[in-house]
Structure 1
Amino acid sequence: MTSGISVLCVDDDPDIRALTTTALERTGEEFTVVTAGCGRDALSRLTERDRIDCVVSDYDMPGMDGLELLDAVRDRDPELPFILFTGKGSEEIASDAISAGVTDYLQKGSGMDQYTVLTNRIENAVDRHRTSRAQRRSERELERYRTLVESNTDPMYVLDSNGICTVANEAFCRLVETDREAVVGTHISDLISRDGLERGAKTVRQLRQGNSTSTRYEVSLGRDDNRWVGEANLAMVTDEDGNMTGSTAVIRDITERKRRERELTQYEEVVELAPISLFILGPDATIEWFNDEFAEAFAEDADELHGMRFPELVDRGYYDDHVIEKYNDQVRELLSSSTDLQRAEYHIRFQAPDGEERIHDVHTKLLPLEDGSFAGTIHAIRDITKRRRYERELEHQNDRLEEFAGVVSHDLRNPLNVAQGNLELHADECPVETDTKMGSVEQIRHSLDRMDDLIEELLSLARHGQRVGELGPVDLPRLVQQSWNAVDTTGATLACSVDATISADEGRVRALLENLFRNAVEHGSAGSDLESGREEGHIGTDVTVTVDLLENDGSTSGFYVADDGTGFETDPEKLFEFGHTTTSDGTGLGLAIVDGIAAAHGWTASARESRSGGARFEISGVRVLEE
């Protein structure tokens, strides 16, 4: 029986109203009956807050008959149960009532049995009305849920107790790259990866055991070429008795979050492994974070350092007092800067726990501002004590080399010049020009010339060594021609095919090219010494020197200098050794200078046989700015 039914009884006869009320309330124990003597009173009753489940009305009433009242009620509520209970029934009235949308039609009779029938008709009408209303409400709720599911960009699905997919939104269908018609009715094992299936099954077991009503787990989804990581939130689907009939899951794409987590972990590992000290100061100069390298520099343990204000490290003697002033100046400068990419760099002195004073190179950068307010700074510290010591030692060595160069230039070259001058005077004053005399003079002259070459190249090594100045763009074809013109290349031919601009120290590269050209024309004669009629080491008249670019995987990686002479008489790997020479009058320094200049630029010098059988010297690792 339908419970809690409120009935509005409308009849112009007060005795009939009273009888009907008594009979209904007696027959239907859950009935509550309110009455109205006319149609207007009935409509007023319907406007009150008290709920009316059914209207029972007479037909023949003054002012507004039952059908007119039905029309007025239908205007307000098209579905409210309305039973026409009249003593003046006819087929015409019944037909008109049905056409007007009456719920039921019952003609009054004699006896109390008619009220039993009326009670039954009311209960059936109200029950059908409530069922219909509940079904429509469920359909509206279902439609709202369906709209929420379909409009959700996160994949969602529902499984029955056997793991068969019964509901899936469009996002899930796109994820598994399958049409909805194919997804619904398919077992979940055919839709997601093995690891996702195993984790899902484990979660379902936990739900069945009552350990949880909802739980989350990670799952890998998608094809191999489009795989992503999802976070599945799985919950039980239960019946009215609380028995599990299936499960439902919503999957959130966390691929980007996991990528960022991995990236963060990698950064943390890099920071911890970095051979530099890193630390963060808050807006009040409190040490908020630091890596192991920073902590190892102090006698205090990490727990004590964390939360300590940086000025306390000054008080403990690790830093000078002026460090705080320098820090404040740098922060003010950074805050006044127009770009947040600027950073400050400065040097400070650090007193280590072992008593040794060290020099630190500090790089400071602002943390992102919080609501426009200063949030603190991040610092990177490198210990440059050894570098500073090395720089001082290098400066001292350079001073000594410069002093040595001066001694060589003055104390050796001056006596050499005197010897050369006296030799020429002796040759001119000697009246007899015998073969013996001329041979001795030439031998002395040759030895003095070789000593002069040795002094010149020793000075070059002493003054320049393997150092290079400031790098800049160098027009390589122009420099090749200038270097060629600076060398005695009588009779030799230059074939230059380079057209590139490189990053280099122009003066040092000029010295490199001059040495390579001198080596080519002096040692690369195509004919033998006897055939050419020249002494060993003299310039050949038929050598061609080629300069061109090196190619590596389709890109320029350097340049080479090659000749078409007689090639190498020794192992090419030994050519760059200091003092190594293949001729009796060679210094063995020219190619050593080439190797040193190349190394100072970060390049590599190597030798091999050219295509024509001559010598080829390659300079690789060159940075080409423009071709």
Structure 2
Amino acid sequence: MTAGEGEIQSCAGYRALLDHVSDLVLLVDDAGTVSYANATAARTLGVAPDALVGESLLDRVHEADVDELESLLAATEARATDERLSAEVRVRTGDGEWTWQSFSREGTQPTSLDGVVVTARDVTAQRRIEERFRHLVETASDLFVVLDEDGTVTYATPAASRVLGYEHDELVGENVLEHIHPDDRDAVATELHHGLDDPGYTATIEHRFRTKSGEWRWLESRGRSLPDTPALEGRVVVVTRDITDRHRRERQITAQNERLNAFTAMVSHDLQNPLTVASGSLELYRQTGDEAALDRVDQALQRTSELTSDLLSLSRQGRTVEDPVPVDIADCVTAALETSPLPADNVTVAAGLPTVRGDESRVRSLFENLFRNVADHAGDDPRVWVEPLAGADGVGFAVEDDGPGIPVDAADSVFELGHSSDRDGTGIGLYIVDTIAAAHGWDVSVTTGRDGGARFEFTGVDVVSEA
């Protein structure tokens, strides 16, 4: 065998070997023109190897990926190194379909070759799986974030916009601890570092987070480090959901239970007094025939009726408003005045009162109890103003009178069950007002009005529209 024949056989052997390699092997120049393709071209691209020779590989690459492949082929600075370069691009098959191919090349190329040897592996199935999981993560209702060891966001899903009001890329580079409520920050930081130190530990914590609008929302976050995943080493993956509504419901249920306990105690205590008086007075009448004893029976029964009515109202008002509808505050004020001891002319209803979401019957009852409180405590000819409220706490409404007002030291206790400045008062009216507000998710506070009277302010209302 001559030396020339040996070279030919050797070359044929290398070609046969390359034809059995599962990866696509190409020899291309800097411009992308193919001078050699192994048999894998037919299996991967559906194109005969000979048909690829003389063709520009770049002509088969998706226009959005051409620059990336050109950079790979023309990376002359890598020729003097052992660095391996790679790029994933879309390549059109013989039947017009797009496949994802992972191209790679060695940094150092044989000087005897007129071109660059590149290999390509079909990663279409892998890319489809990645895209599927990416779609699931990015369209999930929960927010996914990746944090580094300092709590800085390195990745956030688009749910950040719905949950927190931020575009997801706005959060990248932000330290989440700076957005955590100060009262919750230390606990969150402790759980974050616990998760980093103990890869098997799953941190679960409820905390408040300041949204882009400045509102504090309650979130439930579950975080875990994944050291076995190289791309996430030294990171914590956190899944977060908004639980503000659940938190509000839990508070309402707790408040309802407290009201139920107070209601039970009041039934057993306050009703017992007038019933004891009635029973004793009736027995006295039977023994003496003194009709003055019957008057005391009558008064005791009236008191029992008042307490029963108030307690029944209290039991009804404590329920959370489940199906709110648009309620016009001004219309409720007008309706409440129809059954109020206050003269309608003494009540000024300002323009601009909002329409809110709520239970119309209970909102009317709220005003009935407020007006009854004014009639009982604000003097013989009280004046009342009902007006819209807007400020840092949001839109709401206020009810103010010109009576003696409520002392500052009593402002926190005035809504408590049984609290009354009148010896004969039931102490239920303002408690019902607070109960109705809580059932709607509103906040109510009392302060001093323009003429020194009591001013009740309702905020946190769910406004449909402002008049």
TM over 0.5: no
Q: TM-score range by the shorter chain?
A: 0.3 to 0.5
Greater Rg by CA: 1
Which structure has the higher relative contact order (CA within 8 Å, separation 6+)?
Answer: 2
What is the TM-score with the length of structure 1 in the denominator?
0.34
The TM-score, its normalising length taken from structure 2, stands at 0.44
